[in-house]
């Protein structure tokens, strides 16, 4: 049965549906030598030649592809882009290499925000998780500076006018501190650009530190260092798939629990060590150690 071209390419890990639709509109995708147009449907057979930017891409059937998800602890200072023309570090630099597929970021965090960022090989899963209609809850720890009173807290949960519409936190709770070191936990169910920071700024309060601590029911893994990643087990992958009404996965690349515990510490150390040998050069000699985040 035929399927939309963008769905076939997204499922094979070549980007989210939104990214691929943009590529098609730009004339960068062809099917058997003919430039594709938005709305084209294809039969995903091995003899078909689909090219992106002139390069033949794999369209592995969905029953052969394994959905994988990584939890990554993004440090401040990294960009959520595959390549930066100025050579600055990106969130993709530290991830494990793949053959015949690629990691797709589930949403974005701005350069000054740290914390949990999910990556998957399943473009359809990434696209559904990012869609505003799914209302997947994100939780953040926020350090703020400024006068915070009951009226400002009320506005932040009832609704504040921003340039792209009204926004509000679903929940907001004080976690302690005073003066320059007041901490709050907040949750949102949408991923508008810099929304957490803009909401606080709209009531005259400055955000000096922002850490994403949870995506849906997936928390930032305990013990995971900044710049480290860990692959999610099948149960957590299927939680995400169920969340966006996708069929469960039955195969995992994650080792059984006993072996996984033995491998996890070494895996994290290798990821951080590998990046530490690259980052100083890319940052013009600056240390790759933990940022202050202020």
CA–CA distance, 163 with 183 (Å, rounded to integer): 26
Q: How many residues does the chain have?
A: 294
Cα Rg of the chain, angstroms: 21
The single-letter DSSP state of residue 97 is: P
Q: Is the pLDDT of residue 261 over 70?
A: no
Q: What's the burial of 215, exposed, middle or buried (CB within 10 Å: 0-12/13-18/19+)?
A: buried
Beta strand spans in 32-129 (E): 34-35, 41-42, 50-52, 55-56, 69-74, 104-105, 114-120
Q: What is the pTM of this model?
A: 0.71
**165, 186: one domain:** yes
Q: Would 241 be classed as within a structural domain?
A: yes
Q: Do 122 and 227 fall within a single domain? A: yes
Separation CA 264–CA 271 (nearest Å):
11
Task: Determine, yes or no, domain membership for 164.
Answer: yes
Query: Which tokens hold the place of 101?
Result: 């597929």
Does 228 score more than 90 pLDDT? yes
The residues annotated with a catalytic role in the active site are 110
Helices and strands in the chain, H and E counts? 8, 17
Same domain, 225 and 98: yes
- Please, where are the H alpha helices in 15-174? 17-25, 123-130, 150-158
The answer to the question of residue 113 being in a domain is yes
pLDDT 10s digits, 85-112: 898 999 999 999 887 678 999 999 999 9
Cα(108)–Cα(90) distance, integer angstroms: 11
Is residue 283 very low, low, confident or very high in pLDDT (cuts 50, 70, 90)?
very low
- Give me the number of domains the chain comprises: 3
Asked if pLDDT for residue 176 goes beyond 70, the answer is: yes
- The answer to whether the CB of 201 falls within 8 A of the CB of 160 is no
Last residue of a domain, one of 213, 231, 254: 213
pLDDT tens for each residue of 6-33: 888 877 767 777 889 999 999 999 999 9
Of 174, 191, 213, the last residue of a domain is 213
For 8, the domain range is 3-56
Q: What pLDDT does 94 receive? A: 92
């Amino acid at each position: 049965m035929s399927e939309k071209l963008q769905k076939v390419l997204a499922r094979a890990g070549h980007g989210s549906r939104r990214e691929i639709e943009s590529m098609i509109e730009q004339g960068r995708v062809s099917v058997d030598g003919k430039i594709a147009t938005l709305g084209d449907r294809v039969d995903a057979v091995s003899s078909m030649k689909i090219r992106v930017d002139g390069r033949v891409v794999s369209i592995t059937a969905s029953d052969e592809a394994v959905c994988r998800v990584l939890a990554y602890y993004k440090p401040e200072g990294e960009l959520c882009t595959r390549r930066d023309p100025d050579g600055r570090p990106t969130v993709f630099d530290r991830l494990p290499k793949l053959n015949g597929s690629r990691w797709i970021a589930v949403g974005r965090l701005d350069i000054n925000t740290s914390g949990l960022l999910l990556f998957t090989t399943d473009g359809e899963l990434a696209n559904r998780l990012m869609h505003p209609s799914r209302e997947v809850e994100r939780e953040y720890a926020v350090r703020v500076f400024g006068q915070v009173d009951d009226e400002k807290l009320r506005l932040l949960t009832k609704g504040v006018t921003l340039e792209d519409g009204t926004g509000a936190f679903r929940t907001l709770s004080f976690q302690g501190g005073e003066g320059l070191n007041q901490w709050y936990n907040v949750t949102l169910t949408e991923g508008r650009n810099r929304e957490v920071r803009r909401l606080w700024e709209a009531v005259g309060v400055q955000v000096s530190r922002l850490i994403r601590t949870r995506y849906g029911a997936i928390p930032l893994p305990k013990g995971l260092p900044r710049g480290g990643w860990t692959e999610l087990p099948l149960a957590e992958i299927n939680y995400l798939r169920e969340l966006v009404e996708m069929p469960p996965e039955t195969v995992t690349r994650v080792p059984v629990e006993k072996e996984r515990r033995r491998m996890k510490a070494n895996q994290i150390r290798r990821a951080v060590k590998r990046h530490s040998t690259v980052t100083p050069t890319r940052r013009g000699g600056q240390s790759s150690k933990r940022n202050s985040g202020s």
